[in-house]
Amino acid sequence: MSEKVNAVAGEASGTMTRRALLGAAAASVALAACSSSGGGTSLSGGTGKTGQKVTLNMWSWYTEDQPVWESVIHEFQASYPSVQIVPRTFGSLADYSPALEAAVAAGNAPDIIAPATLAISYGRAGILLDLKSALGSSFLNEFYPSINKEYSDGDKQYAVGWEAQMFGLFYNPDILKKAKVDFPETWDDLIAASDQIRSKTGLVPVALNGNPSNNAADFYLPLVTQASNDPNLVYQLDNLSGGASWNSKYPIQAFAMLQKLQQAGVFEAGAGAVTYDEALALFYTGKSAMLSFGSFIVPGLLTSATPAFNKLYRVGQTPAWTSGGRHWGANQAGAGWAVNAQSPNTEAAVEWLKFIYEPKRYAAIMQKSSSMAATMAAAEQGTNPIVREMASWITDNGCNH
């Protein structure tokens, strides 16, 4: 998940990276972030089975996981009776992010944090625990390498992926058939198909969620990879390494493509203000032919759309820059977990992470929520056909964003 497109545009001078900007903000509150909101002390011996009672507060916006926590926590507490897990799930990332930042600034950050885009910044500021040291390489090697890279800074890793993600174009085959168009291979094909969709059906060609605006960046940044055919370029742009600059050829070409698509009427009017729920509704109510989004919308469609629509819709890879080109699409982790380094309960928090990532248990959690697993073994066990299809694209066509 990326920072805002307008933030990227503002960095075109090449003087600031997204991470550096976040790092400056995180550093300003690092001194304030002194203790977790959870009470208690570390568990004796680090086992979690003896010692004083501790409470682990766990914050996220992962609504798809809410139904599974009760049974998982009950199972955990059978083995770790001194630990109470208190999950708090916000309704959306837009609700969660300001609440987390305020809690960190006030010194009341939860013990276990969904870091969103702040893992590196908070890690550098001493707010998050180095999980490479706490969990070990053998634990982390089970995850997709791109996910570990997302949360790593040098030889430290400040979060672990909870859900992998892969972006693509979800589509309604009935609308494409009515418009007499095929699923687009390239962006030029999409522009041509969009003209047909509008003229023959009067519908929105592609629904795009631009609010919060980091979702528009999820669309833009893979275009940089497509223009350059270099999956490392966005990493270099983030760090201004290897001579990379936002004011260079490929980022500019990517902006030009985004503008070309917008001017061609590919997206709905005012897409920059359209929320997640609104974009989703455009798609499942039949008002748009396609939806540009990540695999993490599958649970939302299962709960919001009719059973008939869930059987109807399909997904295809992100259109390529040119015919025969790679279908680079955004991947990495849409969700992750980090540990508050300043919590008095870091040992218990690490034990909880080990517990929920036990291979069989973790695979079952991902299957119950119809989410894309962040470990390669669990992803292979996924049962949702859309999620399995999108997971198969990660190795060859996934790029950071």
Q: How far is CA 393 from CA 39, 261, 351, 359, 390, in A?
A: 43, 24, 32, 22, 5
Q: Give the CA distances from residue 246 to residues 13, 221, 231, in Å, rounded to whole numbers and listed in that order.
A: 7, 11, 15
H/E stretch holding 233 reads helix 233-239
What SS3 class is residue 307? helix
**Residue 199 in tokens:** 């003229």
What distance in Å separates the CA atoms of residue 393 and residue 361, rounded to the nearest whole number? 25
Q: In sequence order, what are the beta bridge partners of 338?
A: 113
pLDDT, tens digit, for every residue of 278-317? 999 999 999 999 999 999 899 889 989 999 999 999 999 9
Q: What angle do CA 374, 378, 381 make, to 5 degrees?
A: 135
> What is the average per-residue pLDDT within 232-240?
84
Evaluate whether 31-165+332-399 and 167-330 have a shared fold.
Answer: yes
| CATH assignment of 167-330, among 3.10.20.740, 3.40.50.1820, 3.40.50.970, 3.40.190.10 | 3.40.190.10
Whether 107 has a pLDDT exceeding 50, the answer reads: yes
Both tokens of 91, joined, read: 């309704």
**The pLDDT of residue 37 is above 90:** no
Given the structure tokens 């649970």, which residue do they identify?
Answer: 299
Strand 112-113 and strand 54-60: the pairing is: parallel
Q: Which range has the worst mean pLDDT, 48-62, 74-88, 191-205, 350-364?
A: 48-62
For the chain, which residues make up each domain, given as ranges?
31-165+332-399, 167-330
Three-state SS at 10: helix
The answer to whether the peptide bond before residue 212 is cis (omega within 30 degrees of 0) is yes
For residue 30, what pLDDT band results from cuts at 50, 70 and 90? very low
54 contacts 156 by C-beta, under 8 angstroms: no
C-alpha to C-alpha distance for 373 and 296, rounded to whole angstroms: 10
3-state secondary structure of 391: helix
The predicted model gives 216-224 an average pLDDT of: 90
Query: pLDDT at position 198, please?
Result: 98
Mind listing the pLDDT tens digit for each residue in 15-27? 434 433 333 333 3
> For 180-216, how does the pLDDT look when each residue is reduced to its tens digit (9 = 90+)?
999 999 999 999 999 999 999 999 999 999 887 677 8
Maximal CA-CA distance, the chain = 69
Task: With cut-offs at 50, 70 and 90, classify the pLDDT of residue 46.
Answer: very low
Whether 171 shows a pLDDT value over 50: the answer reads yes
CATH number of 31-165+332-399: 3.40.190.10
Residues pairing with 13 in the sheet: none
pLDDT at 330: 85
